[in-house]
């Protein structure tokens, strides 16, 4: 496989310490495990020196090779490869969860737990035989209930459903959001889950990002990763969409600092910014990636890489680049338009191998 060259395409979440943004190292390929590689995969591994504040690092194939992903040893089991938890989907959009979950496994995660609407668990369990499936009660608008009150009056005081809390505690990385409905329910679910996430890196995508804007706005104690496009960031910040699209670097940096989050502002050029100002830029891919479900795949790729031990910044950089490279591979076979989001993930293992072979 030809990898496109150039721009191709610890504390709990209640702590105040933020994770350092890594700088590409001088190692090649995927990183060999250290002596503690078999330790609990909840630890966020792979951090190097802090990226130079204000500098913008272009994400290229060369960049990725110099910023190797954590790699399990030859005898590592699925626990060492990482356990990804995905809370997503709804009765109207179960496919978003399917796309994200498949991508997380294709990115190399070893175990998968999915949490979704009880009405679609049977179908998704068959479609994803690799996954443990947990079903949640649904609101009338199709949202997911993280709590199980004895009656509606004590909904805020009720504890998180034990199976869901235990899943959060076991996870190496947690993705919340793809395909979720009911904005109010989304905000309540994220607020309930964040205290349960411990040291696991958290990715908030799609509807789950609502906690970062409007009346629900919160500043995260421990950085999470947000994955907005310009329109979504405009909705979160109140800024004009066109202004964000015209200067994504400034918009991404402002949001990252205000929210204490890693922000991956998606677009033809994607800007990834850490709360300390460390910034990465990627230009690539093709128009074919602008298709329903493509963002769900990207979120899943990032979650899978984070479960393997990549920091949020590294997982985002690799995920964005792999997503674009997969689109380029598909365009060679099918043309720039007409390939499907469900086809993107299958390209990723070969791309990972190609990048680690040079």
137 pLDDT higher than 80 = yes
Mean pLDDT, to the nearest integer, of 249-266?
A: 95
Query: What span, in angstroms and rounded, lies between the C-alpha atoms of 308 and 86?
Result: 15
In a domain, 16, yes or no: no
In a domain, 212, yes or no: yes
Rounded percentage of the chain residues whose pLDDT exceeds 70: 81
Domain limits for position 78: 56-356
pTM flag (> 0.75) = yes
Domain total of the chain:
1
Top-ranked range on mean pLDDT: pick from 7-11, 49-53, 323-327: 323-327
CATH code for position 263: 3.40.1190.20
| Per-residue pLDDT tens over the stretch 264-305 | 999 989 999 999 999 999 998 899 999 999 999 999 999 999
How distant, in Å, are the alpha carbons of 318, 327, 353 from that of 31?
14, 25, 12
In a domain, 23, yes or no: no
Mean pLDDT, to the nearest integer, of 184-200?
A: 92
User: Which of helix, strand or coil describes residue 136?
Assistant: strand
Alpha carbon 173 to chain centroid, angstroms: 9
DSSP state of 217: -
Contact 175, 205 (CB under 8 A): yes
In a domain, 180, yes or no: yes
36 pLDDT higher than 60 = no
pLDDT-derived band at 107 (thresholds 50, 70, 90) equals very high
H helical segments located in 171-223: 183-193
In a domain, 92, yes or no: yes
Tokens representing 178? 């793809």
Tokens representing 256? 């990252």
200 conformational bin, left if phi > 0, alpha if psi -120 to 50, beta if neither = beta
In a domain, 6, yes or no: no
In a domain, 41, yes or no: no
How distant, in Å, are the alpha carbons of 9, 270, 305, 327 from that of 62?
12, 17, 18, 19
In a domain, 36, yes or no: no
Q: Cβ of 6: how many Cβ atoms within 10 Å?
A: 11
Burial code (b: 16+ CB inside 10 Å, e: under 16) for 44-73 equals: bbbbbeebeeeeebebbbebbbebbbbbbe
Residue 48 confidence (pLDDT): 41
């Amino acid at each position: 496989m030809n990898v496109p060259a150039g721009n191709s395409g610890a504390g709990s979440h209640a702590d105040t310490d933020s994770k350092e943004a890594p700088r590409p190292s001088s190692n090649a390929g995927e990183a060999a495990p250290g002596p503690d590689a078999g330790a609990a995969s909840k630890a966020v591994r792979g951090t190097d020196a802090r990226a130079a504040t204000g500098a913008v690092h272009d994400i290229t194939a060369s960049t990725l090779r110099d910023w190797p992903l954590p790699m399990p040893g030859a005898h590592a089991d699925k626990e060492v490869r990482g356990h990804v938890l995905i809370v997503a989907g709804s009765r109207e959009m179960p496919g978003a969860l399917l796309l994200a979950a498949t991508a997380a496994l294709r990115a190399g995660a070893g175990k998968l737990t999915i949490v979704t609407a009880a009405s679609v668990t049977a179908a998704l369990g068959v479609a994803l035989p690799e996954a443990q499936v947990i079903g949640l009660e649904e609101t009338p608008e199709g949202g997911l209930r993280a709590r199980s009150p004895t009656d509606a009056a004590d909904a805020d005081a009720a504890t998180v459903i034990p199976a869901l809390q235990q899943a959060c505690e076991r996870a190496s990385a947690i993705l919340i959001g793809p395909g979720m409905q009911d904005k109010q329910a989304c905000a309540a679910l994220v607020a309930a889950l964040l205290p349960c996430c411990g040291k696991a890196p958290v990715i908030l995508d799609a509807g789950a990002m609502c906690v970062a804007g409007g009346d629900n706005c919160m500043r995260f104690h421990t950085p999470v990763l947000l994955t907005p496009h310009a329109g979504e960031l405009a909705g979160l910040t109140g800024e004009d969409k066109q202004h964000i699209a015209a200067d994504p670097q400034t918009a991404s940096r402002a949001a990252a600092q205000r929210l204490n989050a890693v922000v991956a502002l998606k677009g033809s050029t994607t800007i990834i910014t850490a709360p300390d100002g460390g910034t990465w830029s990627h230009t690539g891919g093709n128009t074919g990636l602008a298709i329903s479900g493509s963002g769900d795949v990207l979120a899943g790729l990032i979650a899978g890489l984070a479960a393997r031990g990549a920091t949020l910044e590294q997982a985002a950089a690799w995920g964005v680049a792999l997503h674009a490279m997969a689109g380029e591979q598909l365009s060679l076979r099918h043309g720039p338009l007409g390939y499907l989001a469900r086809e993107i993930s299958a390209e990723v293992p070969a791309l990972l191998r190609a990048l680690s072979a040079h």
